[in-house]
């Protein structure tokens, strides 16, 4: 079984490209020196390689199980989690006041990518806990922060996100879980499904963040409130009290991420789980959006991470497997399949897409840091707009790419990719959830076109397009063909954006997904062109690793010539409008009207 090796060089490069120098200059991030970041990444890489990666395959085979009402995690999980918490890894981006390391989110992003790449099923636990910590940091009362946040930042307790119900998946306005006031607390009753790490044996307490509706709440999303529902109640002195009335009643059997317990949760079977209101009643969705946006970017990062893992595995296999002489090969000893042009095509596609999605995800997180801390309000606002625009793109594009790259990984292995022993199949199965949870990619596309692009008549999108054009203009000399390819892609994105702004909502909804793919494809080209310009400059100045820079130029060129041109196809779909999508009538679909 191959081990995960953190791609530290590309991670550091992507951080720099994302504007790490600017991030490190933000108030509160003075400690984030280049040396410190390099040391953090190196240590995280060792942990991912040495502790998380070795238990990934066994985790897949054994999974988490529910035994006599107790969820037991896969072999090795408890030990790995304890090391993870003791290492302070959960607290990387959080305020030192609550025991965090106070490092930028951009740095935490690189670190988080390693957990997801080494072991996605394990990485989900800190992914959700970090989102819960972020939410409580912003909206928790002082008392709630004192009681829960410190222990969650330390990883001593973990947080969950309880949104989904049988009748409320994409449409959270249908949430029916009830919250009835009972003195200072609320009694929560209802059922939640698909709750990641809803129960486990890693920590002594689990802090559920639960969406529920009070009896007199208005209908729809405006009547949903947010509650803290701890698995174990917490006494005034911080010690653990009684078991709360919240239980995992079953675990789902899934296509992938077997070791991540996906729980059906019952709240209030014995009279009502005790819940504590976060903020004000009826503002739960607004608060939860902070956690969801954080999780969306991090789920996008899972797409990047699983692509990296699949690429490493496929590359290793392609260097060893011998099968047939490559066209044009003249030697005596048949080389490995990496000598075949088609295998190289698959590998460079995997590498280029991984690097492009990584660069975009890190860039979005650097903008997130700027939005939170820059001294000037105008800069903060512009960065916040950019993050909001890119969040659905990072989430949906990177996760779809994750599935495609993992699929190529299976293909490189031939028949052995389809059988379980090599591990390539696991990455493909694990990758498949990311386009579904945290808002399906269809919902992300809707978010992009309606809330992020057409609502302001394309203003924020056009600002991003202007930055893309500046990058294209900087690709001169040997890089001029890359700049020209990027301009073609940007022209397509601009034309599609204008056509969306001028379209009716039915058309916008029908072309939302091709528009999102177009955006991702061109944004990836933007990042790869930036990367090529930086690599060229480093080569010219004799700085850094010349082999790394040359490889970056090769992947950027491949992206410009083989991937970016797909923008034209996506534009065609957007410009075709709603009609082709709606061509099939209800009758033709066999819908009995
Ligand atoms: C392994 C796993 C872990 C999960 N973890 C959590 C968790 O920790 N916490 C939690 O609360 N939830 C969790 N979920 C739930 C997850 O977020 C939902 O499954 C997801 O939001 C989709 O909801 P649904 O399954 O009901 O699908 P549906 O909403 O029924 O969607 C079905 C299809 O219809 C499409 N669709 C629906 N509405 C629209 C629309 N308005 N426009 C266009 N297309 C639409 C969707 O894109 C999708 O293709 C998890 C799910 C899984 C499988």
- Report the largest interatomic distance among the alpha carbons of the chain, rounded to a whole angstrom: 84
**CA 488, 490, 492 angle in degrees (round to 5)?**
75
Q: Which two tokens stand for residue 431?
A: 């990758």
Cβ contact 167:213 at 8 Å: no
Q: Which residues pair with 182 in a beta bridge?
A: 185
The answer, yes or no, to whether any atom of ligand 1 lies below 6 A from the CB of 436, is yes
Decide whether any atom of ligand 1 lies within 6 Å of the 437 Cβ. yes
Strand partners, 67: 70
For position 2, what pLDDT does the model report?
66
Element counts in the chain: helices (H) and strands (E):
22, 12
Nearest to 304 by CA among 437, 405, 159, 175: 405
> Does residue 262 have its Cβ closer than 6 Å to ligand 1?
yes
- Tell how far the Cα of 436 is from the centroid of ligand 1, in angstroms: 6
In this prediction, residue 290 carries a pLDDT of 83
Contacts of 119 (CB under 8 A, 6+ apart): 4, 48, 52, 53, 55, 56, 59, 259
Amino acid 281: pLDDT: 98
Burial 107-135, CB ≥16 within 10 A → b, else e: bbbbbbbbbbbbbbbbbbbbbbbbbbbbb
The answer to whether 559 touches 479, Cβ cutoff 8 Å, is: no
How much distance in Å is there from the Cα of 163 to the middle of ligand 1?
10
What does the DSSP assignment read for 282-317?
A: T-HHHHHHHHHHHHHHHHHHHHHHHHHHHHHHHHHH
**If you take atom 24 of ligand 1, which residue's CA is the nearest one?**
169
Q: How far apart are CA 305 and CA 335, in angstroms?
A: 29
277: three-class secondary structure by DSSP: strand
Specify the DSSP element, H or E, that contains 195: strand 185-196
Q: How far apart are CA 387 and CA 361, in angstroms?
A: 10
How far is it, in rounded angstroms, from Cα 188 to Cα 179? Answer: 5
Candidate list 165, 308, 438, 494, residue with the active-site label? 438
Question: What are the structure tokens assigned to 184, written together?
Answer: 């200072």
Please state the atom number of ligand 1 nearest to the C-alpha of residue 170: 29
Round to whole Å and give the CA distance between 357 and 399: 9
Alpha helices for 48-175 (secondary structure H)? 56-62, 77-86, 105-118, 120-139, 142-144, 150-154
Q: Which ligand 1 atom sits nearest the alpha carbon of residue 161? A: 9
Q: What is the residue with the minimal CA distance to atom 12 of ligand 1? A: 164
Tens of pLDDT along the chain (593 residues) come to 568 999 999 999 999 999 999 999 999 998 899 999 999 999 999 999 999 999 999 999 999 999 999 999 999 999 999 999 999 999 999 999 999 999 999 999 999 999 999 999 999 999 999 999 999 999 999 999 999 999 999 999 999 999 999 999 999 999 999 999 999 999 999 999 999 999 999 999 999 999 999 999 999 999 999 999 999 999 999 999 999 999 999 999 999 999 999 999 999 999 999 999 999 999 999 999 888 888 899 999 999 999 999 999 999 999 999 999 999 999 989 999 999 999 999 999 999 999 999 999 999 999 999 999 999 999 999 999 999 999 999 999 999 999 999 999 999 999 999 999 999 999 999 999 999 999 999 999 999 999 999 999 999 999 999 999 999 999 999 999 999 999 999 999 999 999 999 999 999 999 999 999 999 999 999 999 999 999 999 999 999 999 999 999 999 999 999 999 999 999 999 999 999 999 998 889 998 75
129 lines ligand 1 (CB under 6 A): no
Structure tokens at 564: 């970016």
Do residues 322 and 308 touch, judged by C-beta distance below 8 A? no
H or E element in which residue 249 lies = strand 246-251
226 membership: H or E segment, kind and range? strand 225-230
Active-site residue, 587 included: no
Which pLDDT belongs to residue 74? Answer: 98
CA 7/CA 301 separation, integer angstroms: 14
> Model-level pTM greater than 0.85?
yes
In this structure, are residues 521 and 588 in contact, taking their beta carbons and an 8 Å threshold?
Answer: no
Distance CA 195, CA 295 (A): 14
**CB of 563 within 8 A of CB of 353?**
yes
CA dist 72 and 64 (Å) reads: 6
Nearest alpha carbon, ligand 1 atom 44: 442
CA separation for the pair 64, 237 (Å, rounded): 33
Residue-level length of the chain: 593
Non-local CB neighbours of 429 within 8 Å, separated by 6+ positions: 60, 255, 256
Contact of 271 with 314, CB cutoff 8 Å? no
- Cα 52 → chain centroid: 18
Tokens matching residue 432: 């498949």
Atom 13, ligand 1: which residue's CA is nearest? Answer: 194
DSSP state of 582: T
Which of ligand 1's atoms lies nearest the C-alpha of 439?
Answer: 21
At 6 the three-state DSSP class reads: coil
* CA separation for the pair 35, 43 (Å, rounded): 12
- Kindly report the number of other CB atoms within 10 A of residue 582's CB atom: 11
Distance from C-alpha of 537 to C-alpha of 530, rounded to nearest angstrom: 11
Angle subtended by helix axes 512-541 and 480-501, to nearest 10: 160
- Report the SS3 class of residue 213: strand
Q: With a 6 A CB cut-off, is 267 part of the ligand 1 pocket?
A: no
Instruction: Tell me the C-alpha distance between 358 and 338, whole Å.
Output: 24
CB neighbour class for 11 (10 Å; exposed up to 12, middle 13-18, buried from 19): buried
Asked if residues 301 and 116 have their Cβ atoms less than 8 Å apart, the reply is yes
Q: How far is the CA of 378 from the centre of ligand 1 (A)?
A: 35
What does the alpha-carbon distance between residue 252 and residue 282 come to, in Å, rounded to a whole number? 30
Please report which residue ranges of 321-376 form alpha helices under DSSP H.
341-373
Report whether residue 161 contacts ligand 1, using a CB cutoff of 6 Å: yes
Ligand 1 site, residue 446, Cβ cutoff 6 A: yes
**Residue tagged 């059906």 (tokens):** 264
Ligand 1 atom with the smallest distance to the CA of 168 is 26
* CA 196 to ligand 1: nearest atom: 8
The pLDDT score that the predictor gives to residue 592 is: 75
164 in contact with ligand 1, CB cutoff 6 A: yes
Q: Is 125 in the pocket of ligand 1 (CB under 6 A)?
A: no
Reading the block at residue 228, the tokens are: 């803290």
CA 371, 375, 381, 383 dihedral sign is negative
Nearest CA, atom 4, ligand 1: 194
3-state secondary structure at position 344: helix
Task: Give me ligand 1 centre to Cα 433, in Å.
Answer: 10
């Amino acid at each position: 079984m191959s081990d995960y090796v953190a791609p530290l060089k590309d991670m550091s490069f992507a951080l720099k490209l994302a504007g790490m120098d600017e991030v490190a200059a933000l108030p509160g991030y003075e400690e984030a020196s280049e040396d410190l970041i390099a040391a953090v990444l190196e240590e995280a890489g060792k942990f991912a390689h040495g502790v998380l990666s070795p238990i990934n395959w066994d985790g897949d085979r054994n999974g988490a199980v529910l035994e006599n009402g107790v969820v037991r995690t896969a072999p090795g999980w408890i030990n790995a989690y304890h090391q993870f918490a003791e290492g302070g890894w959960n607290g990387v981006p959080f305020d030192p006041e609550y025991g965090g390391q106070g490092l930028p989110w951009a740095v935490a992003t690189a670190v988080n990518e390693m957990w997801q790449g080494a072991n996605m099923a394990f990485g989900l636990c800190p992914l959700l806990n970090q989102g819960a910590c972020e939410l409580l940091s912003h909206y928790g009362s002082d008392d709630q922060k004192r009681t829960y946040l410190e222990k969650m930042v330390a990883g001593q307790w973990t947080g969950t996100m309880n949104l989904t119900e049988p009748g409320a998946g994409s449409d959270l306005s249908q949430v029916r879980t009830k919250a009835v006031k009972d003195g200072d607390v609320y009694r929560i009753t209802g059922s939640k499904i698909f709750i990641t790490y809803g129960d486990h044996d890693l920590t002594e307490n689990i802090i559920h963040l639960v969406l529920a509706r009070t009896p007199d709440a208005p209908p729809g999303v405006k009547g949903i409130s947010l509650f803290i529902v701890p698995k174990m109640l917490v006494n005034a002195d911080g010690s653990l009290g009684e078991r709360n009335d919240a239980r995992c009643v079953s675990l789902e059997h899934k296509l992938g991420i077997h070791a991540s317990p996906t729980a059906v949760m019952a709240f209030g079977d014995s009279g009502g789980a005790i819940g504590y209101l976060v903020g004000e009643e009826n503002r739960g969705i607004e608060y939860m959006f902070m956690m969801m946006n954080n999780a969306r970017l991090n789920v996008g990062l899972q797409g990047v991470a699983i692509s990296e893992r699949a690429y490493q595995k496929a590359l290793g296999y392609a260097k060893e497997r011998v099968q047939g002489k490559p066209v044009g090969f003249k030697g005596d000893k048949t080389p490995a399949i990496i000598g075949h042009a088609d295998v190289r095509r698959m590998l460079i596609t995997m590498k280029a897409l991984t690097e492009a999605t990584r660069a975009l995800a890190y860039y979005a997180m650097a903008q997130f840091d700027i939005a939170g801390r820059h001294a000037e309000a105008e800069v903060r606002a512009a960065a916040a707009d950019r993050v909001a625009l890119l969040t659905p793109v990072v989430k949906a594009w990177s996760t779809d790419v994750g599935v495609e790259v993992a699929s190529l990984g299976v293909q490189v292995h031939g028949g052995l990719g389809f059988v379980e022993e090599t591990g390539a199949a696991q990455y493909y199965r694990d990758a498949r959830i990311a386009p579904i949870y945290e808002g399906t990619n269809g919902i992300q596309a809707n978010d992009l076109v309606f809330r992020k692009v057409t609502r302001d008549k394309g203003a924020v999108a056009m600002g991003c397009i202007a930055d893309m054009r500046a990058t294209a203009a900087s690709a001169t000399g040997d890089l001029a063909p890359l700049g020209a390819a990027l301009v073609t892609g940007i022209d397509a994105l601009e034309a599609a954006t204008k056509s969306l702004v001028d379209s009716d909502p039915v058309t916008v909804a029908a072309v939302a997904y091709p528009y999102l793919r177009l955006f991702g494809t061109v944004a990836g080209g933007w990042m790869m062109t930036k990367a090529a310009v930086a690599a060229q400059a480093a080569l010219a100045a004799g700085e850094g690793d010349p082999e790394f820079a040359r490889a970056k130029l090769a992947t950027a060129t491949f992206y410009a010539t083989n991937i970016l041109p797909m923008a034209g196809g996506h534009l065609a779909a957007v410009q075709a409008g709603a009609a082709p999508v709606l061509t099939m009538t209800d009758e033709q679909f066999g819908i009995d009207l």
